[in-house]
Structure 1
Amino acid sequence: MKMFMAAMATETNSFAPIPTGWSSFREGLYTKEASRHPPSSFAIPLVVWRERAEAEGWEVVEGLATYAQPAGPTIRQVYESMRDDILADLESAMPVDVVLLSMHGAMIAEGYDDCEGDLMQRARGIVGADAVIGLEIDPHCHLTEAMLEAADIIVCFKEYPHVDIGERAEEVFSLCAATVAGSIRPVMRDHDCRMMAMYHTPFEPMRTYVDAMTAMEGQGGILSVSLAHGFPWGDSPRCGTRTLVIADGDADVAAAAARELGDRLWGLRERLRIRYPDIETGLDRAMAADAGPVVLADFADNAGGGAPSDSTFVLRAVLDRGLKDVAMSLFWDPVLTRMCIDAGVGAVMRIRLGGKIGPMSGDPVDLDVTVRGIRLDATQLFGKGLQRLGDSVWLEADGVHLVINSVRSQTFHPQVFTDLGIDLAAMKVIVVKSSQHFHAAFAPIASEVIHLATPGAITPDFTIIPFTRRDDDYWPKTENPTSEKVRP
């Protein structure tokens, strides 16, 4: 057997002001040897797939693996160049029996509403109908018709935060290996849930729902179950939540199970309605807590959703209250980071922080700070993968501890603070610019976790997103949507 594998991923916020170009991909990941090095998130599957394939005695051909931090649409020439690079390597590797791709599922480029579907359909045109194509994607995807038509197997991560990327890679390989061996005949069907929500899987009701999804697998001919959460800030006609079921040779079984899961989720919608506190209410709760630290999530300035990661709304509220023992990260500011590194640890400086990218970033804040720590080539853990932060700096402004850095990233792990020397146990409040991925690593050290309804580029109000490519027939924009689309 011969297998080709590659990865190309970014999550596109159609309304973000930052274009996704060459620097974004090369800053994140850009290599044809990803499976032989410590992986970042979207390269984890390639490591798993190589290990599994070589254990089976398969020949492995590895193409480009590339990833960019979420931002605005990818520049057309950049997308086409990367796509054509992958396809050229696939063409050169022919004939192949299996193609495995690690992608995001919500990548949009200039002229392409569905980059994943475009790449996969072109790959299908090269390998023909008999080869098996498997795809692992983020649940914050659009799950388009083109993707479903081109692939034999599609599996989404089940967990949010995404702590199961490696496990889902194992699942994709096992299903594709069984398919090419002829022991299963996968059939995929999806169901439109007519919803947009945040599905935080550590919490109820989603914990029970995801466990029920997993329990269905292996029963009654069902091979795999996924929930495509959707990415609400991607302007796609398919934006929204969909259930996906793969059954062994029986489309009716797959369709019925997808509908059952969709109906079950619809019944949970009121429990999923977002009721996050505003900044002032969240700070009131944090300061009233008997124990610390309390972790506050600056939801709307999450770089992982395409936000600039330089908003000042929470910082301004903290300063206005005169709070101390507050730690905040990550503020993306390559210029200020370089200035502070040049000044050195111990330097006292007058700085201007944040508010640089656009109105969603708020106004700049002027501060007198002391440079307390510097870390060059910093990284943070995200699950089993490492995420580059570039250079990072710890600044203190009268008891407010700020982490700035040079490579835009959300905050995943406490080490963004602790690697610089910040004692989080001494903090009353920790503010992280993240929507949910921080939770796995921060919840164990937090007395309480509070998601804030902050202003910014990905504000958590799905009723006001200015879509141009999809209609308003989804909950909660429409309380009782009428559409019910099931893939035939």
Structure 2
Amino acid sequence: MRFFIAGLATETNSFSPIPSGALAFSLDHVRRVRAGEIAPPKDEMLAVFHELCSTDGHEVVQGIAAGAEPGAPVVRAVYEELRDMILDDLRAAGDVDVVLLALHGAMIAQGYDDCEGDLLARIREIAPRAIIGAQLDPHCSLTEIMVANADLITIMREYPHTDFAERAADLHRHCLRAARGEIRPAAALIDCRMIGFFPTTDGAMKQVVGAFRHSSAEPRIVTAEFAHGFPWGDVPEMGARVLVYADGDLEIAKAEALRLARLVHDRRRELQAAFPDLASSLDRAEGLDGLVVLGDFADNPGGGAPGDSTFVLRELLDRGIADAAIGAFHDPEAARLCADAGPGATIRLRLGGKLGPESGDPVDLVAEIVAVAEDHACTAFGMRVPLGRSAAIRCRGIDILVVSSRSQLYGVDGFTGLGISLRDKRLVVVKSSNHYVASFGPLADHTWHMATPGAMNLDFASIPYRRLDRPVFPLVEDPWPGEDMQAAIRIAKRPAPGGI
């Protein structure tokens, strides 16, 4: 068979001050990939697709692979150019049996609430007989247009996302079976009318993930998927959703989707995040023995935050807390000044607080330059995430990681790779919402997320949504007053493609 694979992914925070334009996606890099002048960008899902297809002896045609760190809605012309590059590559490929796409599911562009739905609808026009599959991030806004135009969608189950490869392999297997006529996926989608933040490593959410895995193992169920939603993407179809594919039997898909959606709804209070604030977190940490690792939740670049907020650092300095590390601060100018001075120098430095009110005010430091690297990186789920020119600095017993490429800090080697030891620390603060747990958790004696000030506000009732068009929990206690959840099951019809 002939497979076409491509990737386009970013997560859009409607309230982010960070523009998402050509530089965010490195369009020149993408063009050169398409022209074959350089190797495609490393993308784990596409790598799995390519390996599985090639191993089975299928022909693989690869389109572009483009991605950007989360930020504000993508500039319209940039999205349309990237989308059209994928569509042009698909046309050039000719007849294909299967299309496999590595997407995110929460990409918004100026003029497009649902970039993935728009892309899938246009791909369906070009390849009406192909089996079209897409893998999404759980923080997706899963829309009826996406489900209508894809034959199969899989969503990573784990958060932290430790199952990229597993879910990519699932999608490949399901699509191949569908292309061979071995299964006929029938899809049922249901809106849970709920928004939230759902780490999956423990508690009620771990049990919910187990229920979806168990459902997917049932003989007549092809796969059962849970979309967490992305609460900071202000679009009408934002929120938690359940998607179930059954083999050739729509009624089975509907019944299972309803069962799972009711399970999620019934546990909605348990599933809501309740993280302590900054002050109480530091009070608690100061009374604990061993290494404490805390997540600076609201300043996570992986959710569209600036990555340069100073609220936590200022509190550490005001309290005189030492034997601590914090990072990564996205501050290219500060990193350049540190590189200019070089290791061993002591300089006056204004750090952070540059990208908007969500960042707080800059902090003025007298800092020692510990180490500098021109091309630093950290490990994330087997991949290397570039951090650019970076510096490790020390001020009043606090080691601070400063980077030039905006990214959440996934791995401990973000610190240790620049000589910041964690063995002698009592407290480590990581600018990340949850992914840091996979790497830092095994080192920590205590770890939790802090509900810090910043661009990712966990008080959903205070977020100035303009596009929500239905009651959702926790903005209202009961989002189904006098309504039957069964009436919310959707079997999407394919609409005409175009911007939304």
TM-score for both structures, normalised by structure 1: 0.96
- The one-letter amino acid paired with 2:266 is G
Partner of 1:313: 311
- What's the CA shift string for 1:433-463, capped at 9, x where partnerless? 1100111111100111121111100111111
In structure 1, C-alpha distance between the alignment counterparts of 2:315 and 2:75, rounded to whole Å: 36
Indicate conservation of the 8 Å contact 2:48/2:169, yes or no.
Answer: yes
Q: How many residues align?
A: 483
Between the aligned partners of 1:188 and 1:426, the Cα distance in structure 2 is 53
Amino acid at match of 1:310: D
DSSP 3-state at the match of 1:392:
strand
Q: Structure 2 residue aligned with 1:487, among 462, 487, 490?
A: 490
Give the corresponding residue for 1:290: 289
Cα offset, 1:190, TM superposition: 1.4
**Structure 1: stretches of 5+ with no match in the other structure:** none
The residue correspondences of 1:148-227 to structure 2 (distance < 5 A) are 148-227=147-226
SS in 2 for 1:290: coil
- Change in CA separation of 1:462 and 1:472 when aligned onto 2, cut-off 3 Å: farther
Spell out, residue by residue over 1:129-159, the C-alpha distance to the aligned partner (whole angstroms, 9 max, x if none).
x210000010100111110110000000000
Aligned counterparts, 1:371-390, within 5 A: 371-390=369-388
**Conservation of the 8 A alpha-carbon contact between 1:375 and 1:419:** no
Map of 2:244 onto structure 1:
245
Report the secondary structure of 1:315's partner residue: helix
Q: Are the equivalent residues in 2 in contact too, given 1:225–1:244 (CA < 8 A)? A: yes
**Larger mean Cα displacement after TM superposition, 107-116 or 371-380:** 371-380
Cα 1:351–1:326, aligned 2, differ >3 Å: closer, same or farther?
same
Using the TM superposition, give the Cα deviation of residue 162 of structure 1 relative to its aligned residue in structure 2, in angstroms.
0.4
Point out where structure 2 has 5 or more consecutive residues left out of the alignment: 492-500
Amino acid in the other structure paired with 1:11:
E
Partners of 2:34 and 2:341 lie apart in 1 by 38
Which among 437, 440, 458 is matched to residue 439 of structure 1?
437
Where do residues 401-440 of structure 1 align in structure 2 (5 Å cutoff)? 401-440=399-438
| Aligned equivalent of 1:19 | 19
Letter in 2 for 1:264: L
CA distance in 2, matches of 1:361, 1:265: 34
Quote the residue 2:118 is aligned against: 118
Q: Could you list the per-position Cα deviations for residues 98-156 of structure 1 after superposition, in whole angstroms to 9, with x for gaps in the alignment? A: 1110000000001111100111100000011x210000010100111110110000000
For 1:303, the equivalent position in structure 2 comes to 301
**Structure 1 position 313, deviation (Å):** 0.6
Asked whether 1:397 is paired with 2:395, we answer yes
Q: Distance in 2 between matches of 1:257 and 1:464?
A: 34
8 A Cα contact 1:186 1:246, kept in partner: yes
CA distance in 1, matches of 2:132, 2:35: 21
Aligned to 1:101: 101
The runs of 4+ residues in structure 1 deviating greater than 2 Å are: 27-34, 36-40, 482-485
- Checking the alignment, whether the CA contact within 8 Å between 1:349 and 1:370 is kept in structure 2 is yes
**SS of equivalent residue, structure 2 residue 203:** coil
**Partner of residue 58, structure 1:** 58
One-letter code aligned to 1:393: A
2:357 alignment partner in structure 1: 359
Aligned residue number for residue 274 of structure 1: 273
Secondary structure, in 3 states, of the residue corresponding to 1:258? helix
- Going from structure 1 to structure 2, the CA distance change for 1:134 and 1:166 (only over 3 Å counts) comes to same
8 Å contact from structure 1 (residues 39, 386) kept in 2: no
Deviation at 1:273, TM superposition (A): 2.4
For the 8 Å contact 1:29–1:65, the answer to whether it is kept is no
> Structure 2 counterpart of 1:242, which letter?
R
Q: Does 1:322 align with 2:320?
A: yes
Cα root mean square deviation, aligned: 1.6
Deviations 1:314-365 (A, max 9, x none): 1111011011011001100111111111110011000101111111101111
Q: Distance in 2 between matches of 1:410 and 1:320?
A: 25
- Determine whether 1:72 maps to 2:72: yes
Q: Secondary structure at the match of 1:424?
A: coil
1:347-395 CA distances to partner (integer Å, 9 max, x unpaired)?
A: 1000101111111101111000000011221111111222111121101
Superposition deviation, residue 196 in structure 1: 1.0
Find the partner of 1:468 among 433, 444, 466: 466
Are residues 385 and 358 of structure 1, via their aligned partners in 2, closer, same or farther at CA, if it must alter by over 3 Å?
A: same
Q: Deviations over 1:145-184 (max 9, x none)?
A: 1101100000000000101001000000000000000000
Deviations 1:452-478 (A, max 9, x none): 111100111111221111135100000
- What amino acid maps onto 2:188 in structure 1? R
Cα gap change, 1:101 to 1:284, in 2 (>3 Å): same
8 Å Cα contact 1:472/1:478 also seen in 2: no
SS in 1 for 2:489: coil
Give me the identity figure in percent: 46
Find the aligned partners of 1:262 and 1:241 in 2 and give their Cα distance.
Answer: 9
Secondary structure of the equivalent of 1:317?
Answer: helix
Give the conservation status (yes or no) of the 8 Å contact 1:27–1:68: no
Deviation at 1:67, TM superposition (A): 0.6
Rounded to whole Å, the distance in 2 between the matches of 1:423 and 1:114 is: 43
Q: Deviations over 1:13-34 (max 9, x none)?
A: 0111111011111199744499
Describe the superposition over 1:178-218 as per-residue Cα deviations: whole angstroms up to 9, x where unpaired: 00000000111111111111111101111122122112223
Aligned residue runs from structure 1 range 137-148, under 5 A: 137-148=136-147
Q: AA paired with 2:179?
A: V
CA distance in 1, matches of 2:273, 2:156: 22
Letter paired with 1:23: L
Match runs of 1:224-239 below 5 Å: 224-239=223-238
Q: Aligned partners of 1:168 and 1:361: how far apart in 2?
A: 35
CA distance in 2, matches of 1:218, 1:426: 46
8 Å CA contact 2:198, 2:272 repeated in 1: no
User: How much has 1:39 moved relative to structure 2?
Assistant: 6.6
In structure 2, distance between residues paired with 1:369 and 1:94: 59
Q: Which residue of 2 aligns with 1:90?
A: 90
Deviation, 1:425, is 1.3
Question: Following the alignment from structure 2 to structure 1, what is the Cα–Cα distance between the partners of residues 41 and 217?
Answer: 30
Give me the whole-angstrom Cα distance separating, in 2, the residues matched to 1:420 and 1:104.
Answer: 31
Distance 1:33 1:229 in 2: 37
Matches within 5 A, 1:124-143: 124-128=124-128, 130-143=129-142
2:294 and 2:429 in contact (8 A); partners too: yes
Worse-matched range after superposition: 462-471 or 101-110: 462-471
